[in-house]
Amino acid sequence: MFYLLVSLKPTRSIMINKLVLIGAGNVATHIGQALYNQGVDIVQVYSRSLRSAKPLSKQLKAEPITDISQVQQVDAYLFAVKDDVIPELIAAFPFSGRIMLHTAGSVDMEVFSAKTSDYGVVYPLQTFSKQRSVDISEVPFCLEASNSDLAKLLEVWLRKISSSVQFLNKEQRASVHLAAVFACNFSNYMYTVAEDFLRHRQLNFSLLRPLISETARKVTHHLPSQVQTGPAIRADEKIMAKHLQLLTNAPEWQNLYRFVSDSIEKRHKKS
């Protein structure tokens, strides 16, 4: 008979059952609801004003608070607030040694290092609006953690709410955030210019909706560089001159049209 003696170094037992949510905006709302639905006990919701803390805290059966010094001692604190506000909230944060997390694409996780050694980032790569529900299980979560115990915990924890979880370091996360600004914020602004221009001509934005849907659907199976269409990639100078002519009274849009068209021509000549 064998006796196998193994020296097991005990791993720290950290877990997140009770959470305080710092923030009550779009990201806090969507992640808070997803965690709540997974049985996480969200004890408090902090926001600068009671008016914004109350509706979310009611949904999550949490206490609304407006003073960060009033947070209870729980397992973890999730900061889902405007990037600028994170440092001042941390400075006023009353405890140390707790798990502290934020959801920001462009903030280093070391922002927490004066308060705890268990800190990390849970960055959801999605655009959230309060008026729309998003299938959180399809949202890619980009994770980073200050140590491997917390990394394992976060991975297990996030896999409960999303099928797409991966670790990115801060440089990678910042790159993804920047790419998201182009792919999401700037493409939405291109829609807005179309909306404004059509309104100005008494035409309805809804005409463009099938086109916008198809443009986005195309890149679910292709790379955008492979499916570029339009006058610029065809180098159709005549049409571009007509379009610039139509924009004579809107020099800002004219400059934008010229800049993006030139950029498309250059990009596709090179490749």
**Site for a second copy, residues 101 to 160, rule: CB under 8 A:** 106, 125-129, 131-132, 134, 138-140
Return the range that interacts with a second copy (CB under 8 A); candidates 32-40, 92-100, 111-119, 216-224. Answer: 216-224
Q: Are 60 and 78 in contact (CB under 8 A)?
A: no
Residue 120 C-beta: closest distance to a second copy, Å: 19
164 binds a second copy (CB under 8 A): yes
Greatest Cα pair distance, the chain, in angstroms, is 92
Q: Which of 51, 58, 159, 267 contacts a second copy by CB under 8 A?
A: 267
Residue 88 C-beta: closest distance to a second copy, Å: 13
Cα 9 to Cα 87: distance, rounded to the nearest angstrom: 36
Cα 263 to Cα 245: distance, rounded to the nearest angstrom: 19
Nearest to 46 by CA among 38, 36, 56: 56
- Nearer Cβ to a second copy, position 52 or 147? 52
- Nearer Cβ to a second copy, position 61 or 199? 199
Q: Which of 145, 236, 249, 251 contacts a second copy by CB under 8 A?
A: 236
Return the range that interacts with a second copy (CB under 8 A); candidates 11-19, 46-54, 145-153, 206-214. Answer: 206-214
Site for a second copy in 15-74 (CB under 8 A): 26
Q: Are 83 and 106 in contact (CB under 8 A)?
A: yes
Cα 215 to Cα 270: distance, rounded to the nearest angstrom: 23
- Nearer Cβ to a second copy, position 71 or 143? 143
CA-to-CA dists, residue 206 to 155, 185, 188, 198, angstroms: 41, 20, 15, 10
Task: For residue 42, give the 3-state DSSP assignment.
Answer: strand
In b/e form, how buried is each residue of 149-172, taking b as 16+ CB within 10 angstroms?
ebeebbeebbeebbeebebbeeee
225 binds a second copy (CB under 8 A): yes
Site for a second copy in 68-107 (CB under 8 A): 82-84, 106
- Nearer Cβ to a second copy, position 131 or 148? 131
Cα 240 to Cα 267: distance, rounded to the nearest angstrom: 17
Nearest to 116 by CA among 81, 74, 174, 65: 74
Site for a second copy in 168-197 (CB under 8 A): 168, 171-172, 174-197
Residue 121 C-beta: closest distance to a second copy, Å: 15
247 binds a second copy (CB under 8 A): yes
Note the helical H segments in 96-137: none
217 binds a second copy (CB under 8 A): yes
Residue 81 C-beta: closest distance to a second copy, Å: 12
Find tokens 């934020």 and name the residue: 102
- Nearer Cβ to a second copy, position 14 or 256? 256
